[in-house]
């Protein structure tokens, strides 16, 4: 049992207690955020902002630039999503909907632009020293699109979260962030349920032909 425990959490031996506590807190609020997203509840954004603010600090401290960039982007897009979800058009809040052709083009643009920007950041910081840099670049692009679609309440956002979360489970474990790895495992499960929950809401709100 101790060998298994050391395999999972041995990397934390060199971490400060405050940093471990902050990571656990960020993971908990990240869980709340995804749970509220599944429920289609506005609290997805304040919970997510609190979680990402902590992660930005920790990832900056641990010099994980790609991951820090993802969380900084989450924080900014949470503000945007908070506005979109509460904005009223014809006295109705923004509903769940499917992606339009224009939004599909914007998603491709966000994905490709993110790949280029993250590559330049890693290259300038001389961080192309591990295979994780390539995976970070790919997952960052996936999550950027997913967050943008969630902010616009598009049901397709869940598929981007599912793919990114599955990749992130072993990635964060390899980086020595076991609690964060567990977080993405839970995120993956919730994302599947979130998709079907949103799909049910979308089907119930579509006009009958």
In this prediction, residues 173-201 reach a mean pLDDT of 92
Number of domains in the chain: 1
Between CA 78 and CA 74 the distance in angstroms is: 6
Q: Specify the length of the chain in residues.
A: 209
Helix (H) or strand (E) holding 62: none
Q: What is the pLDDT of residues 50-65, one digit of tens each?
A: 999 999 999 888 877 7
Assigned domain for 4 exists:
no
Residue 172 domain flag: yes
Closest CA to 68 of 79, 77, 57: 57
Parent domain of 88: 16-205
202 pLDDT exceeds 80? yes
Is 50 inside any structural domain? yes
Between CA 153 and CA 155 the distance in angstroms is 6
Written as six digits, the tokens of 123 are: 């290259």
Classify 154 as helix, strand or coil.
Answer: strand
| pLDDT recorded at residue 9 | 63
Look up the pTM and report it. Answer: 0.84
pLDDT greater at residue 112 or residue 204: 112
Q: Measured between alpha carbons, how far apart are the two ends of the chain, in Å? A: 60
Q: Is the pLDDT of residue 1 over 60?
A: no
Average pLDDT, the chain: 87
The answer to whether residue 9 sits within a structural domain is no
Number of neighbouring beta carbons within 10 Å of residue 3: 7
What does the pLDDT look like over 124-167, one tens digit per residue? Answer: 877 787 888 889 889 989 999 999 999 999 999 999 999 999 99
Arithmetic mean of pLDDT, 58-82: 85
Tell whether 8 is covered by a domain.
no
Q: Encode pLDDT of 4-56 as tens digits.
A: 656 566 667 677 889 889 989 999 999 999 999 999 999 999 999 999 999 99
Residue 190 lies in a domain: yes
- What's the pLDDT at 126? 78
Residues 82 and 45: beta-carbon distance below 8 Å: yes
Does 1 reside within a domain? no
pLDDT at res. 209: 46
* Domain annotation covers residue 63: yes
CB 36 within 8 A of CB 43: yes
Q: What is the pLDDT of residue 199?
A: 95
Query: Which residue's structure tokens are 């509460």?
Result: 86
> Distance between CA atoms of 91 and 68, rounded to whole angstroms?
38
Q: What is the mean pLDDT of residues 76-96?
A: 81
Instruction: Write phi, then psi, for 127 (nearest 5 degrees).
Output: -105, 10
């Amino acid at each position: 049992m101790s060998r298994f425990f050391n395999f999972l959490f041995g990397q934390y031996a060199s971490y400060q207690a405050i940093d471990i506590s902050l990571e656990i807190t960020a993971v908990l609020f990240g869980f709340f955020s995804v749970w509220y997203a599944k429920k289609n509840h506005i609290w997805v954004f304040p919970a997510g902002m609190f979680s990402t603010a902590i992660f930005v600090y920790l990832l900056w401290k641990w010099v994980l630039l790609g991951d820090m960039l993802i969380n900084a982007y989450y924080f900014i897009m949470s503000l945007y999503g908070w506005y979109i979800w509460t904005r009223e058009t014809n006295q109705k809040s923004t509903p769940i909907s499917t992606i339009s052709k224009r939004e599909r083009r914007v998603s491709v643009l966000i994905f490709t632009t993110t790949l280029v920007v993250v590559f330049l950041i890693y290259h300038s910081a001389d961080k192309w020293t591990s295979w994780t840099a390539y995976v970070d670049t790919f997952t960052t692009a996936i999550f950027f699109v997913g967050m943008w679609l969630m902010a616009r309440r598009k049901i397709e956002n869940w598929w981007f979260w599912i793919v990114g979360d599955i990749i992130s489970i072993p990635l964060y474990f390899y980086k020595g962030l076991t609690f964060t790895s567990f977080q993405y495992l839970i995120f993956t499960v919730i994302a599947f349920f979130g998709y079907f929950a949103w799909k049910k809401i979308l089907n119930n709100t579509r006009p009958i032909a």
